């Protein structure tokens, strides 16, 4: 690992002073926050990320999970940015009111990593594209302008939606797929005070600037993730398809959440992981489900709409059919409809 | 926070506007004893244990958080010591495989691993045992499938998994019979 300096502030203002004046987005920053360290330190060992200074934010006290609003239970839940993934997944309120989120978190990584990794860090983890990790190959995300090794290389795990000629990497998080479906809100502190970022606007598509993962500025700190009151506890699930039974990234994952009126779908949320540079949502596919009877035919039609523009690479075209079937199965499980 | 204890005058630092400190002081409780060490910021907890503290029971497998051989307990929770900086451990309580036994009396999980022959080469074993201690403390495992799922962060290339599950199962069952105490 390259040399860097280290600081450990004990409050948010001091942490923000540590990154004050940095231009650009947090992805490109020379001074980085470290909390769990599970992804950043790994990338530093691989020489993919080369921060000059680490600001250890693990003692800022942003590790609580709290009710939003005065009365318990109807104003949503605030997940501290520094609450550990394991503590979040096993929190009784999360398990009861947001079971899809709990399931998604527990589908990711290993127990040790979930004990270390924080909620804010989960949002900022970087792609596991082999070419991004291998400094001997070209990668526009790691070294802008060098090209994309995956486009002509081994691209079995790569994107089928929203990719560009510059990058076909996917976002690796499970937790973020559930947060996208829940329409969580990211709370951020910076030099101009607090701001909120709707989850759909937090991550970005690669376009011609794949070296930027998110819209978080280099002088900002995630303080919390707010969950709206509606948790879809009755009709939701998280389905993850991967190469191993445990401890593997998703080839395709689906967060499916429904509001039902008898056997009719009132509203639907559908988010996919493992298929794009960010958790993938498609308003047209969700609209396709609204007002329809909960049936395998309805679900298949929504899957067709969502995957209409999907494009396979040389090794990952199987993901299109896989995603189609995963969507149908996840929606069937969420709705309580029998499926093959 | 800790102050640098040595000048950053060697090697890399010449071109940096603010040279990284060579060593920072960190004080932690390690296997029941208070220890102070001086480490460069980029020293992992794993390297600090093995190279600075002569505790080589904790193993370096992949050094990337994928194999679990480096698992230790920090404040009672299992983590990968390869993905943690030693300087982040200020004030923390760290328990390694060397800290599990009481004198000559093995920890029940150590006992069970011996009894069930839950290893072949033994390289993953310290990590497996520390991970199992953490898992039983967490209390989420009820079935053998739960054990397999919640131990999936510890790889065994010899394939001793059936015996590892049996060893953990035995201690888990003993705990529930004895009201939670091994």
pLDDT(A165) > 90: yes
Q: Give the B-side interface with A, CB within 8 Å.
A: 1-2, 11-13, 16, 18-21, 24, 40-42, 44, 63-65, 68, 71, 77-80, 83-85, 87-88, 90, 131, 134-135, 138, 140, 148-154
Q: Is the ipTM above a cut-off of 0.85?
A: yes
Which regions in chain B score pLDDT beneath 50? Answer: 1-16, 179-182
Cβ of A247 within 8 Å of Cβ of B152? The answer is yes
Q: Are residues B112 and B83 in the same domain?
A: no
Within a domain: B78: yes
Q: Are residues B18 and B92 in the same domain?
A: yes
Within a domain: B57: yes
Which of B42, B77, B149 has the CB atom closest to A115's CB atom? B77
Q: Are residues B122 and B155 in the same domain?
A: yes
Q: Are residues B24 and B88 in the same domain?
A: yes
From chain A, the residues in CB contact with B13 under 8 A are 3
Domain end position, chosen among B69, B99, B129: B99
* Chains A–B, number of C-beta pairs less than 8 Å apart: 109
Q: Are residues B140 and B157 in the same domain?
A: yes
pLDDT(A299) > 60: yes
Within a domain: B5: no
pLDDT(A88) > 80: yes
Rounded to whole angstroms, the Cα distance separating B122 from A271 reads: 43
Which of A1, A4, A112 has the CB atom closest to B71's CB atom? A112
Rounded to whole angstroms, the Cα distance separating B48 from B52 reads: 5
Structural domain tally of chain A? 1
Range of the domain at A261: 236-335
For chain A, how far is it from start to end, CA to CA, in angstroms?
50
- We report the CATH number of the domain holding residue B156 as 1.10.150.120
Domain end position, chosen among B99, B126, B156: B99
Rounded to whole angstroms, the Cα distance separating B172 from B182 reads: 8
Structural domain tally of chain B? 2
For A213-235, what is each residue's pLDDT tens digit?
999 999 999 999 999 999 999 99
Strand, helix or coil at A328?
A: helix
Give the pLDDT score at B7.
38
Pairing between β-strand A236-241 and β-strand A221-227 as defined by DSSP bridges:
unpaired
- We report the CATH number of the domain holding residue A268 as 3.30.390.50
Give the pLDDT score at B3.
43
Range of the domain at B48: 11-99
Strand, helix or coil at B39?
A: strand
How wide is the angle at C-alpha A8 spanned by C-alphas A19 and A106, nearest 5°?
90
Within a domain: A90: no
Q: Are residues B35 and B83 in the same domain?
A: yes
Domain end position, chosen among B99, B133, B153: B99
Within a domain: A318: yes
For A236-293, what is each residue's pLDDT tens digit?
999 999 999 999 999 999 999 999 999 999 999 999 999 999 999 999 999 999 999 9
A36 in Cβ contact with B77 (< 8 Å): no
Within a domain: A5: no
A131 in Cβ contact with A152 (< 8 Å): no
Within a domain: A151: no
Within a domain: B1: no
Q: Are residues B81 and B130 in the same domain?
A: no
Which of B20, B83, B149 has the CB atom closest to A42's CB atom? B83
Within a domain: B167: yes
Give the pLDDT score at B9.
38
Cβ of A41 within 8 Å of Cβ of B83? The answer is yes
Within a domain: A210: no
């Amino acid at each position: 690992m390259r040399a860097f300096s280290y600081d450990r502030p004990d409050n948010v203002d001091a942490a923000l002073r540590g990154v004050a004046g940095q231009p650009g987005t947090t992805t490109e920053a020379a001074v980085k926050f470290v909390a769990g360290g599970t992804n950043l330190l790994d990338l530093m060992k691989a020489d993919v990320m080369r921060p000059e200074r680490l600001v250890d934010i693990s003692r800022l006290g942003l590790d609580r999970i709290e009710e939003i609003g005065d009365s318990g239970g109807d104003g949503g839940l605030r997940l501290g940015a520094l609450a550990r993934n394991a503590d979040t997944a096993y929190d009784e309120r999360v398990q009861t009111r947001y079971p899809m989120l709990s399931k998604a978190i527990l589908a990711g990584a290993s127990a040790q990593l979930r004990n270390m990794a924080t909620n804010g860090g989960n949002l900022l983890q970087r792609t596991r594209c082999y070419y991004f990790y291998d400094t001997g190959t070209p990668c526009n995300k790691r070294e802008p302008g060098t090209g994309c090794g995956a486009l002509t290389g081994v691209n079995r795990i790569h994107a089928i939606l929203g990719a560009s000629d510059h990058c076909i990497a996917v976002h690796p998080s499970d937790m973020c797929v559930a947060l996208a479906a829940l329409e969580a809100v990211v709370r951020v502190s910076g030099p101009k005070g607090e701001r909120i970022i709707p989850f759909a606007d937090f991550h970005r598509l690669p376009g011609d600037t794949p070296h930027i993962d998110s819209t978080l500025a280099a002088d900002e700190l995630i303080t919390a993730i707010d969950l709206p009151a509606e948790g879809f506890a009755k009709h939701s699930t998280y389905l993850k398809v991967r190469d191993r039974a445990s401890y593997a990234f998703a080839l395709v994952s689906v967060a499916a959440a429904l509001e039902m009126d008898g056997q009719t779908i009132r509203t639907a949320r559908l988010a996919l992981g493992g298929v794009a540079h960010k958790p993938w949502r498609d308003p047209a596919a969700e609209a396709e489900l609204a007002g329809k009877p909960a049936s395998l035919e309805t679900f298949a039609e929504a899957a067709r709409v969502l995957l209409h523009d999907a494009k396979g690479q040389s090794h990952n075209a199987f993901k299109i059919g896989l995603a189609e079937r995963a969507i149908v199965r996840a929606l069937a499980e969420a709705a309580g409809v029998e499926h093959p | 926070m800790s102050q640098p204890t040595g000048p950053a005058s060697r090697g890399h630092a010449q071109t940096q506007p603010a040279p990284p400190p060579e060593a920072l002081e960190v004080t932690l409780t390690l296997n029941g004893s208070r220890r102070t060490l001086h480490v460069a910021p980029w020293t992992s907890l794993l390297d600090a244990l093995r190279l600075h503290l002569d505790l080589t029971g904790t193993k370096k497998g992949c050094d990337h958080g994928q194999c679990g051989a480096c698992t230790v307990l920090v404040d009672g929770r299992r983590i990968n010591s390869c993905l943690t900086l030693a300087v982040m451990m200020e004030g923390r309580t760290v328990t390694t495989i060397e800290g599990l036994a009481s004198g000559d009396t093995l920890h029940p999980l150590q006992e069970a691993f011996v009894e069930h022959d839950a290893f072949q080469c033994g390289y993953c074993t310290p990590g497996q045992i520390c991970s199992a201690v953490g898992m039983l403390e967490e209390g989420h495992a009820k079935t053998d499938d739960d054990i397999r799922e919640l131990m999936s962060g510890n790889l065994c290339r010899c394939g001793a998994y059936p015996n590892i599950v049996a060893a953990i199962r035995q201690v888990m069952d003993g705990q529930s019979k004895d009201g939670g105490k091994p």
